[in-house]
Amino acid sequence: MSAGRFFVAPAVLAEPERVLLPPAIANQARNVLRLRAGDTLTLLDGTGMAYTLALTEVGRDQVQGRIAARTLVASEPRRQVSLYQGLLKAAKFEWIIQKGTEIGLSTIVPVHCARSIVGADEVSAAKRARWRTIATEAAEQSDRGRVPEVREPVKFADALAALPPDAVALLAHAGEVAHAGDVATGASLGLCGKHIAPARNRNPFGLEVVHDATVHLFIGPEGGFAPEEVALAQEHGVRLVTLGPRILRAETAALVAATLALAALGELG
Ligand code: SAH
């Protein structure tokens, strides 16, 4: 449900003077929001543009209007944060899609890890369609101009191999990461990936990720990453980061990491 904001296929907006709402949105407008001719609602084309639709007809069979204004959605993050999330049980994964969309993730990549309980092959087309719906509704609700892409599940090794050569990639790892005290003295970041210089006196989320590149965040499944996966990630230049001294549940870790990364990029200001 949204408060009058709906993503539509660009084709719906092809004729600005005569926009016919798709049936599901027409139904929302008429029966849930109880809009009438003369009222407005917002349509989003998924590119970051918002269109104010002035309703000209609210009928039983069709709801139509004309585009009265076109604006850029100001709340959409300018920098991209992609979450590579170890596959989790359905409800937790859906929670991450919903909350991650609200906070401002650009992409969510389900990753099949050594310790994932859910196999990549168990992710049906119906489940992926549901994930897209969750992301769309969360994007409508949270005033976004784009719907984060929820990709097809990939294997952990394939996700690493597909990282761009200069990627800023961080893997949240409870355990072997340097202590906060070491970070404070600048001693810890021997763990840095090759693409990021050690950041003295900074949290790993602090400084060097602040440039235009996408930040790629890896969060493990319920059982965490296997040691081989951590080693493989480091071989790919992925940097290990801590989320603090307490062990977080995977879904908490995903949200905390997304929040820290977006804050480091200046997107929560
Ligand atoms: N028993 C597991 C815990 C996994 S928690 C283990 O020891 O590895 C699930 C995921 O959340 C982890 O793989 C990691 O990506 C993230 N996570 C949880 N707490 C964290 C912390 N304090 N620092 C960094 N990552 C953390």
For 63, other C-beta atoms within 10 Å of its C-beta total 25
What pairing do the DSSP bridges indicate for beta strands 81-86 and 215-219?
A: parallel
Average pLDDT over residues 66-80: 95
- Residue ranges in the chain assigned as alpha helix (H): 23-27, 90-103, 125-141, 156-161, 180-185, 227-235, 250-264
Ligand 1: centre distance to CA 77 (Å) = 26
Indicate which residue's Cα is closest to atom 20 of ligand 1. Answer: 174
pLDDT, residue 214, reads 87
Residues in Cβ contact with 268 at an 8 Å cutoff, skipping those fewer than 6 apart: 104, 259, 262
Q: What's the pLDDT band for 265 if we cut at 50, 70, 90?
A: confident
Ligand 1 centre from 251 Cα, in Å? 10
Degrees (nearest 5) of the Cα angle 245, 250, 255?
Answer: 85
Tell me how far apart the alpha carbons of residues 83 and 99 are, in angstroms, rounded to a whole number.
12
Q: Which atom of ligand 1 is nearest to the CA of 243?
A: 23
250 CA to middle of ligand 1, Å? 6
Give 261 Cα–ligand 1 centroid separation in angstroms: 16
Give the chain's domains with CATH numbers.
Answer: 5-72 (2.40.240.20), 81-264 (3.40.1280.10)
∠ Cα 11 54 38 (to 5°): 145
Percentage of the chain lying above the pLDDT 70 cut: 84
Residue whose CA is at the smallest distance from ligand 1 atom 11: 250
Nearest protein Cα to ligand 1, atom 3: 224
Nearest atom of ligand 1 to the alpha carbon of 245: 22
What is the Cα–Cα distance from 157 to 53, expressed in whole angstroms?
Answer: 46
pLDDT at 167 over 90: no
Token reading at 42 = 């917002």
174 Cα to the center of ligand 1, angstroms: 4
- Ligand 1 pocket list (CB less than 6 A): 172-175, 219-220, 223-225, 242-244, 246-248, 250, 253
143: left (phi over 0), alpha (psi -120 to 50) or beta: left
The model's pTM is: 0.87
pLDDT above 90 covers what percent of the chain? Answer: 76
Closest residue to atom 9 of ligand 1, CA basis: 250
Q: What is the mean pLDDT of residues 6-18?
A: 97
Which tops the pLDDT comparison, 51 or 201?
51
pLDDT of 24: 95
Region 59-84 average pLDDT: 95
Predicted local confidence at residue 173, as pLDDT: 94
pLDDT digits (tens, 9 = 90+) for 184-229: 333 333 333 333 344 443 455 654 544 566 899 999 999 999 999 9
Given this model, what pLDDT does residue 121 score?
67
Interval 70-74 mean pLDDT: 96
Q: Which positions ≥6 away from 246 have C-beta within 8 Å?
A: none
